[in-house]
Amino acid sequence: MMDLKHTAALLRQHGLTLPQFFALLAVERGGEEGATMTDLAEGTLQTPSSLTGIVGRLVARGLCTRGRDDHDRRVVRVRLTPEGQGLLTRLREARRKALAEALGGEASGGLVPPLRTLLEGLALLAYPNGAYPPRLLI
């Protein structure tokens, strides 16, 4: 089963640290308009100064862009690039494959389909209006 140690190893294969990964996920939640640095700091539990370095490294790798807000020049917005979105997609797929293998594999029936059904049912109970929380890796 994929735990935090295995996830960190997967991220290292893609040249990411856990804080960088969590920042990418938080940026993704910002959608088209992007996430503010304040949103990212709150969403990743990083200090603003730490987050500045994390985002700087993601920008340098071409995974995000950083720029001023169109309506309030004091606000800095961070957006995913297509490369950043592609990396998150590849990481999710790698995670799904590892989980499927650990649970017996989707191809062989395994536990994945019934667990997915269970999770979807729980999500409907917990979020009847359909306002699901952002997904991480499932």
Read off the pLDDT of residues 73-122 as tens digits, 9 standing for 90 and up.
Answer: 999 999 999 999 999 999 999 888 887 777 765 555 667 677 777 877 78
Flag whether 134 is in a domain.
Answer: no
Q: Are 43 and 26 in contact (CB under 8 A)?
A: yes
Flag whether 122 is in a domain.
Answer: no
Whether pTM exceeds 0.75 = no
Its domain, for residue 96, covers: 4-104
Q: How many Å apart are CA 58 and CA 56, to the nearest integer?
A: 5
- 3-state DSSP helix/strand/coil % of the chain, to nearest 5: 60, 10, 30
Flag whether 136 is in a domain.
Answer: no
Per-residue model confidence as pLDDT tens digits over 23-82:
999 999 999 899 999 999 988 889 989 999 999 999 999 999 999 988 999 999 999 999
Flag whether 120 is in a domain.
Answer: no
The number of distinct structural domains making up the chain is 1
Residue 51 sits in a domain of what CATH number? 1.10.10.10
Q: Is residue 1 scored above 50 in pLDDT?
A: no
Flag whether 27 is in a domain.
Answer: yes
DSSP annotation of 130 reads S
Flag whether 8 is in a domain.
Answer: yes
Flag whether 59 is in a domain.
Answer: yes
Flag whether 119 is in a domain.
Answer: no
Q: Is residue 137 scored above 50 in pLDDT?
A: no
